[in-house]
Structure 1
């Protein structure tokens, strides 16, 4: 069995310049993802897929491999992570390396924990599913969400639930944006992670924070200091 971690980390981030190697509470943010993969003991290989020489250098300093530089056609604003993982797995296949399981770990996931990586792997291996990925709950019932229409007026998305008590509504989950486990053939053969073929790894909300803007970054560092 060959199990690999693929950490996508392209250069050229616009909203947060140098995002994937920007200092986060004392270390480049990508270092947290690399260390979690290392500490888990799950992976035969840990690679960073990047088109950026500086990201490659920093990643190697923290123990990841850079066996290839990602081609430019897979390093634009529209390329999904599945395409990046597929490219990495096809590279391994072309090198004659058999990979059975792969885990896409995001480069900006400083809250990632070994226990949940292991839980995802165990769930995948013991099932007949293709994927297992991190999710967490919405903090407010999505059934009571409202929108602002073209007149500037407020409308409910789901009028039938607007007066319902929170405790009477079904809990909803969203992608936690930390990792995706998958069988190698599923990453290669599917354009994206199929929810019908996936299992959830449920994370507590206090361990989840998207980092898309500088405000997100500052909030995440405050959360991290509190959490530590």
Structure 2
């Protein structure tokens, strides 16, 4: 089975400028992601995928490859399905594992465990999730509990929140779904791998980055 890692790294960002280059523990987020993938020992190839050429020398200096996507796929209007499809069109593999640099507290062991689950299973898509053992409501109605009685939190069926820290797709299933005009992200049989809340912490704003910086001392992350 050929499994490759893809680290998306768009240069533009509305809420945190150039967030993939934002420093965390003295290194840019993108560098932490590359090193994490390399240390995991689970990938045949590791690619940084960006529309901006500045990421090329960074990827190559760290021992990864650089895929330059079309500039149109680096804007706010482009979806993740668009750039994943474009990438898969030129990089044959069995599974693509997307590792987000903006989830820097995902550990090397998290990556290994996730990839091992992908390799051992028969899923077409695998999502990283955080299990929330809390009472959850949607549009005013209970999701995992009932208003008829009070249940202890530890006895609740957890709500599984997809966090996108790390995601995998079977290449053939993804491309077939896109060709048919369907939603490729959720095509086929879907599996879920639980990660802890720190691993599921995604950086969108400066506050998120500050929180990650404060949490590093409590975690083996960013690339250990």
User: In the TM superposition, what is the alpha-carbon distance from 1:38 to its structure 2 partner?
Assistant: 0.6
Q: Note if contact 1:20-1:55 (Cα within 8 Å) is conserved in structure 2.
A: no
What does 1:145-224 align with in structure 2 at a 5 Å threshold? 156-158=140-142, 161-162=146-147, 164-167=150-153, 168-190=155-177, 191-194=183-186, 197-224=189-216
User: In the TM superposition, what is the alpha-carbon distance from 1:21 to its structure 2 partner?
Assistant: 1.1
Paired residue for 2:121, among 127, 130, 139?
Answer: 127
Q: Deviations over 1:11-65 (max 9, x none)?
A: 1112111100111111001112111111111212111110112233323222221
- Unpaired segments ≥5 residues, structure 2: 178-182
- Unpaired segments ≥5 residues, structure 1: 93-97, 148-155
Tell me which residue corresponds to 2:180.
none
DSSP-derived class of the 1:170 partner: coil
Instruction: Evaluate the alpha carbon distance shift between residue 139 and residue 99 of structure 1 in structure 2; reply closer, same or farther with a 3 A threshold.
Output: same
Q: Note if contact 2:133-2:158 (Cα within 8 Å) is conserved in structure 1.
A: no
User: In the TM superposition, what is the alpha-carbon distance from 1:84 to its structure 2 partner?
Assistant: 1.8
Q: Note if contact 1:32-1:109 (Cα within 8 Å) is conserved in structure 2.
A: no
Q: Which has more radius of gyration?
A: 1
Which has the larger share of helix?
1
Normalised TM-score (structure 2): 0.84
User: In the TM superposition, what is the alpha-carbon distance from 1:196 to its structure 2 partner?
Assistant: 6.3
Q: Note if contact 1:109-1:178 (Cα within 8 Å) is conserved in structure 2.
A: yes
Normalised TM-score (structure 1): 0.82
Name the CA distance, whole Å, in 2 between partners of 1:14 and 1:213: 9
DSSP-derived class of the 1:137 partner: strand
DSSP-derived class of the 1:102 partner: strand
